[in-house]
Amino acid sequence: MIELVNFYLIPGLVLGAIYALAAAGLSLAYGVLRFANFAHGELMTWGGYAALVAVVALGISPWVALPIAIAATIPVALAADRAFYAPLRRAQPAVLLISSFGVALMIRAVVYLVWGPTPQGYARGFTPPLVFEGIRIQQRHLMILAGTAIAALLVHLLLSRSRAGRAMRAMADDPDLARVTGVPVAGVIRLTWCVAAALAAVAGVFLAVDTELTPLLGFNVLLAAFAAAILGGIGRPWGAALGGLILGVVEELSTYPLIGGAPLLEPAYKGGVAFAVLVLVLIFRPQGLFKGMG
Amino acid sequence: MSLLVARNMVGGYGEADILHGVNLTVAPGQVVVIIGPNGAGKSTAMKAVAGLVRLKPGSSVMFDGTEIANAPAESMVARGLAYVPQERNVFPSLSVEENLLMGAYARPSAAKDGLERSYAVFPDLAAKRRAAAGSLSGGQRQMVAVARALMLTPKLIMLDEPTAGLSPKFCTLIFDKVREIAASGIAVLMVEQNARPALAIADRGVVLAMGRNRAEDTGPGLLANPEIGHLFLGGNAPEEDAA
């Protein structure tokens, strides 16, 4: 039983936390801007590499580099919006989706040019895991879980308590009504990009801490993040975060040797679990799992 | 001195114009009702004033002494011009109180006073302040929408068919509130299908047809006009409709 917790549940929660951060940003941008931003994965990657620069140049830990990663990712998102999405604001969502794919390829190309294709890491030394009553948890995993909880709390406070967050939710509900109510639409859109990019950067750094930095870091989890966002009912950051946690845990548990000694599912197929869950949700609960729960 | 003077409004949504030179005048504290058949351009005229429909050159919308034709819709609230659309006029996932607070977005310092006044005018909303606006009945949503538009005490509030789809009880309530609003010095411009009861509380009525002004008079004057009655009010004498 302790093995289930140590080798499946905790890694599942960690992966789920990263999915949750990625999906929350994706879902937030979708809610306000009404299109699926395929460049979200590349924003994660960008954040990961920005932290690397800070880690190498300043000799700090990736946790301390988080604000730098966020500060480096926000301008990329704002520039992409200004240059590519703003002129297409009234276009069909499919047009924006494809243009975001183009933005993704551009950011990825820059990453390849600057940092090359070789996987890199934040050069951490070995830190022994913490042990409580037989439960072993890596320090970095604890940090990722705590960091995700803090980010979720901050986003929650922003959306529920602040005037700007209320305007973001109002825009997501009805952009035309928000406009006639006097909401400065352009400003709210910029703020949304700032929050989405910040969440992407944090997710990217966490993912790179947990695995390693590659130019496809974010793209590799983008589809799972979409699945999580849809699972939670797209456009609802809280649902997306819960969807991410569920997917991460389900994905890891799917390889648990429940019957006999063989894994329930070969680990190679693990990546497909998110999509199997997604298909089931789309068939049986297309509005998402948490519709009507606020 | 008029508050709103729209002259020769020409415009529409795409290629085809819906408005072919509509004029609207509202004095401070007045209730003005726009009536007319479907497709006459009633709602479009109101949306044009609100900045939601593009007006062609030559159109003029003077509000409180300033030309506002084609000004951004989001700038209108700060000028003292509030607009309540007919449908989708609340933010469904926001609570009643959050909806009202959105009405004070342009001037947050006025939010607290605005809430107190809103709950005084619509006591039913105070009990529902934490409920999601999407969970309310049609009449309650209309109250939320009107209260939100009143948050910053506008000079003019524009209501697009505020009684559409409401029960007679709510219609009476809304018309009572319109008179109350006007009595407090806020002018009301309103599009109504419920023409008779609306004209009964109106200072002036404007009849639009085919995107043009067809007639204009005091509310009672239009009700008594046999031609208007025949064409636009169903042809019944006002007395028969009193019930």
Every domain of chain A and the residues it spans:
2-118+151-284
pLDDT band at B237, cuts 50/70/90?
A: very low
The model's pTM is 0.89
8-state DSSP, A133: T
- Main-chain phi, psi angles of A9, to 5 degrees: -70, -50
For chain B, domain boundaries? 1-79+195-232
Q: CATH fold of A2-118+151-284, please?
A: ABC transporter involved in vitamin B12 uptake, BtuC (1.10.3470)
> Which tens digits make up the pLDDT trace of A204-219?
999 999 999 999 999 9
Quote the mean pLDDT of chain B: 90
pLDDT band at A293, cuts 50/70/90?
A: very low
- Give me the total of CB pairs closer than 8 Å, taking one residue from chain A and one from chain B: 66
User: Which residues contact residue A52 at a Cβ distance below 8 angstroms, ignoring those fewer than 6 apart?
Assistant: A115, A120, A122, A208, A213
- Which of A102-116, A271-285, B17-31, B45-59 has the least mean pLDDT? A271-285
pLDDT band at A48, cuts 50/70/90?
A: very high
Contacting residues of B for A169, CB less than 8 Å apart = 91, 93-94, 98
State whether B91 and A183 contact (CB < 8 Å): no
State whether A170 and B76 contact (CB < 8 Å): no
| Confidence at residue A294, expressed as pLDDT on a 0 to 100 scale | 39
> The tokens of A116 are what?
């090359």
Question: If you measure CA to CA, which chain B residue comes closest to A177?
Answer: B89
Domain at B1-79+195-232, CATH class? alpha beta
| Confidence at residue B147, expressed as pLDDT on a 0 to 100 scale | 95
Nearest to B22 by CA among B211, B201, B166: B211
Residue A262 has pLDDT above 90, yes or no: no
> Which tens digits make up the pLDDT trace of A215-259?
999 999 999 999 999 988 877 788 888 999 999 999 988 888 877
Q: Is B210 left (phi over 0), alpha (psi -120 to 50) or beta?
A: left
pLDDT band at B108, cuts 50/70/90?
A: very high
State whether B76 and A182 contact (CB < 8 Å): yes
Contacting residues of A for B96, CB less than 8 Å apart = none
Quote the mean pLDDT of chain A: 91
> Which tens digits make up the pLDDT trace of A143-178?
999 999 999 999 999 999 999 999 999 999 999 999
Whether B132 has its CB under 8 Å from any CB of chain A: the answer is yes
CA atoms within 13 A on the CB side of A17: 24
Whether A185 has its CB under 8 Å from any CB of chain B: the answer is yes
Nearest to A21 by CA among A72, A66, A52, A76: A66
Dihedral (CA of A233, A237, A243, A248) sign: positive
How large is the ipTM?
0.88
> Which tens digits make up the pLDDT trace of B183-198?
999 999 999 988 889 9
> Which tens digits make up the pLDDT trace of A8-19?
899 999 999 999
Contacting residues of A for B92, CB less than 8 Å apart = 173-174
A263-289: b (≥16 Cβ within 10 Å) or e: bebeeeebeebbeebbeebeeeeeebb
Residue A41 has pLDDT above 80, yes or no: yes
Whether B134 contacts B90, CB under 8 Å: yes
State whether A169 and B93 contact (CB < 8 Å): yes
Contacting residues of B for A179, CB less than 8 Å apart = 72-74
pLDDT band at A124, cuts 50/70/90?
A: low
Whether A47 contacts A73, CB under 8 Å: yes
Whether A169 has its CB under 8 Å from any CB of chain B: the answer is yes
State whether A176 and B52 contact (CB < 8 Å): yes
Whether A32 has its CB under 8 Å from any CB of chain B: the answer is no
Residues A126, A131, A136: CA angle, nearest 5 degrees:
75
- Percent pLDDT > 70 in chain A is 98
Whether B96 has its CB under 8 Å from any CB of chain A: the answer is no
Residue B233 has pLDDT above 80, yes or no: no
Best residue of A89, A177, A238 to probe chain B, by most B CBs closer than 10 Å: A177
| Confidence at residue B242, expressed as pLDDT on a 0 to 100 scale | 40
Nearest to A181 among B52, B72, B77 (CB): B77
User: Which residues contact residue A31 at a Cβ distance below 8 angstroms, ignoring those fewer than 6 apart?
Assistant: A168, A169, A171, A172, A234, A235, A236, A237
Question: If you measure CA to CA, which chain A residue comes closest to B77?
Answer: A182
Whether B169 has its CB under 8 Å from any CB of chain A: the answer is no
